[in-house]
Structure 1
Amino acid sequence: MTGGRSHTLTSGQSWVARYRLRLKRRRLLWRCLRARQHLTRLVDRTAEISPGDILGIAVLRNEMARLPYFLQHYRDLGVSQFLIVDNESTDDSAAYLQEQPDVSLWQTGASYRDSRFGVDWAGWLLMRYGHGHWCLTVDADEILTYPHADQRSLADLTRWLDQRGAKAFGAMMLDMYPKGPIGDTCYQPGADPFAVLDWFDGEGYTWEYQPRYRNISIRGGVRKRLFFAREPEHAPHLHKVPLVRWDRRFAYVSSTHIALPPVLNQVFDARGDLPTGVLLHNKFLEEVLEKSAEEKQRRQHFTHVERYDSYYDSLIANPDLWSPQSLQYQDWRQLENLGLMTRGAWA
């Protein structure tokens, strides 16, 4: 990894820059408020939310194969209630979610792209229900792990963060993949996806400080190695701020990569001595072949869609993402030893 743990952030900004960010945050909050008109409530269990609950927020479409494992994983970590937006799934996702006793579900047929890729919808739920709660905002193909995750719950982690006065927790997204062609994975719906996606790139990551939002941009992994080697600046961002003690004045700018106010983005600042985690990304199941063909036509997932046509074509061709340098996944300790996460002062 290039420059990971050595980074420290400078916080100096002109009053003009700070004022512009405040205006931007207000515009984003207005978008979230306005987005509520596109959401239809299917089942509402929000009355069961208690003051100390950790909330899980997700926007998804056609994720029935992942949902049982996704929900159970986060229940085991300590998420008490889930607030989910279904973007007009054509599989059984909505029906399944309505049956879950800890899920409140909204549905929309509006454009995912026009909603800032679901951020406006999630932002409304965070604004309406998340104030004062630790909120974990993740995609259905993201599974969080962190130092001591096998022994300590999210309640333990957030209690420690509260004691330190920290408002957010950062995690790097790590692309997991199989050995052999993607189409040969034979994933059984509901099972642990990392039984088949058990390889990852252990090196080749770059860290770059971006002063506007005071965040560190992380790029790398298999997508950069195979699909964006010639244009690494177009490779997907891997830094995220998925866990935040939410305030209704907060807003996500771009997925959960960047948040406002900028202090929330300093989760990778070595001076804070904070722990960080990893979001194990299980995108590359065999279904990604069909989904890539669909998404290439729908054009809903990227800001600059023309840059990703060749990316989709490469996935549709059923590639083998493995290389001799790939590492087989073991546990969070392995990720810490590689510098992909840190325990900071959380001993």
Structure 2
Amino acid sequence: MMKFYTIISVRNISNDKIFNNNEIRLFAIMRNESLRLPHFFEYYKSLGVDRFFLIDNSSTDDSVQIALQCQAVHVFRTTDSYVNHWYWMEHLLEKYGKGYWCVVVDIDELLYFPQAEKLSIPKFCQFLEETGSTAFRALLLDMYADKPVNSSNYTPGQNPLTVVSNFDKEYEKIQFSFFDRLRWQFFESIIFTGGMRDRVFGKSTPPSILSKIPLFKYLPDTYLVQGMHAINGAQISDLQGVVIHTKFIHDFIEEVREECVREQHYGNAFYYKHFNQRITQNPSLNLSFSGSVRFQDSAQLVELGLMKTSEQFEEFVRTQTEAENTPST
């Protein structure tokens, strides 16, 4: 792999003896995420993530300081253009993710799976292992408030679902072609698109890809596509989850304007510019409509078809829950 980046470790992690093969490891890239980081860490630690590997890309706030205050959080820094971000991610996954169950998300994304209220992520991965699966597909579920985005105020540490508690329930499923840089060939994968993105901002070409592979076991033949939208060389579970997307809070409009100027995201900030067209027309944009649904729990999302479970998985959860609630003798 050619190097287009310079990554510096902020916290030395070489020969760390507390590493073990059963860890659930999370990988993410951040830039000025001090608003979301406190709840991000709280959420994923409560879910059962053991260790975090974060790449900071030129933050000007106290994101790095917040991250370094937490145990089992390892921070790397780069000032290179975000254009090269997937090379950074591949580098860290290759060095610290091989053989592990890996969570790969953005800081504004919260992995959510069927029965997540009852089951930890290590137990969830246990079920995936037992059923021969090495990856888990999810819908990126855009959450929004019932008020204008610029007044959807959020404070650090707050559960974002108390602010952005609504979502669209209608999405499309289509086939899309992705490029595998490991095999140097294209492959087809199912993706989700539509939802609030198309309803509010209009359809785009290429479409808004709302598919995520947020959890997978990194094996030698595995290739995760940029943006976590698809995976090749993996056995994807029949179960399906969502990634709760918390982008659309009060800082969204400022972020859009900044990224339109920086032009470091996909296609010179193609999607941000797509957002900005609508924001320019209406700076007090409200994303809700009469068909918006208020978030309740994982059972609701299964009932709506946004998540998928199975009888085998439900029995597994029952068994695990009973075992945990049985007093030891």
**TM-score, with structure 1 as normaliser:** 0.82
Q: Which amino acid aligns with 1:277?
A: G
Separation of aligned partners in 2, 1:306 and 1:299: 8
The offset of 1:313, in angstroms, is 3.8
Partner residue, 1:302: 266
Partner residue, 1:223: 197
Counterpart selection for 1:94 from 47, 52, 64: 64
Separation of aligned partners in 2, 1:220 and 1:210: 14
Q: Which amino acid aligns with 2:217?
A: R
Q: Which amino acid aligns with 2:79?
A: G
CA contact (8 A) 1:213 1:258 kept: no
Q: Cα 1:308–1:57, aligned 2, differ >3 Å: closer, same or farther?
A: closer
Q: Cα 1:124–1:198, aligned 2, differ >3 Å: closer, same or farther?
A: same
The offset of 1:210, in angstroms, is 3.7
The offset of 1:307, in angstroms, is 6.2
Counterpart selection for 2:157 from 172, 190, 193: 190
CA contact (8 A) 2:136 2:215 kept: yes
- Aligned pairs for 1:25-104 (under 5 A) are 30-31=1-2, 34-35=3-4, 38-45=6-13, 47=16, 48-104=18-74
Separation of aligned partners in 1, 2:7 and 2:164: 34
Partner residue, 2:251: 287
The offset of 1:259, in angstroms, is 2.4
Partner residue, 1:17: none
Partner SS state of residue 79, structure 1:
coil
Partner residue, 1:323: 289
Q: Cα deviation per residue 1:284-341 (whole Å; 9 max; x = unaligned)?
A: 0101111111111001122264565242242362310000010111111111111001
What 5-or-longer segments of structure 1 have no aligned partner? 1-29, 268-273
Partner residue, 1:179: 146
Q: Cα deviation per residue 1:153-172 (whole Å; 9 max; x = unaligned)?
A: 11111111111111111111
Separation of aligned partners in 2, 1:279 and 1:129: 23
Separation of aligned partners in 2, 1:247 and 1:200: 34
The percent of aligned pairs where both chains have the same amino acid is 31
CA contact (8 A) 1:148 1:332 kept: yes
The alignment's C-alpha RMSD in Å is 1.8
Q: Which amino acid aligns with 1:225?
A: R
Task: State which drifts further: 61-70 or 298-307.
Answer: 298-307
Higher relative contact order (CA 8 A, sep 6+): 1
The offset of 1:58, in angstroms, is 0.3
The offset of 1:50, in angstroms, is 1.2
Partner residue, 1:250: 222
Partner SS state of residue 82, structure 2:
coil
Q: Cα 1:207–1:197, aligned 2, differ >3 Å: closer, same or farther?
A: same
Q: Cα 1:39–1:188, aligned 2, differ >3 Å: closer, same or farther?
A: same
Q: Cα 1:75–1:193, aligned 2, differ >3 Å: closer, same or farther?
A: same
CA contact (8 A) 1:180 1:320 kept: yes
Q: Which amino acid aligns with 1:223?
A: R
- Aligned pairs for 1:259-278 (under 5 A) are 259-261=231-233, 263-264=234-235, 266-267=236-237, 274-278=238-242
CA contact (8 A) 2:256 2:273 kept: no
Partner SS state of residue 214, structure 2:
strand
CA contact (8 A) 2:111 2:214 kept: no
The offset of 1:99, in angstroms, is 1.8
Q: Which amino acid aligns with 2:31?
A: R
Separation of aligned partners in 1, 2:70 and 2:41: 9
The offset of 1:57, in angstroms, is 0.4
Separation of aligned partners in 1, 2:58 and 2:51: 22
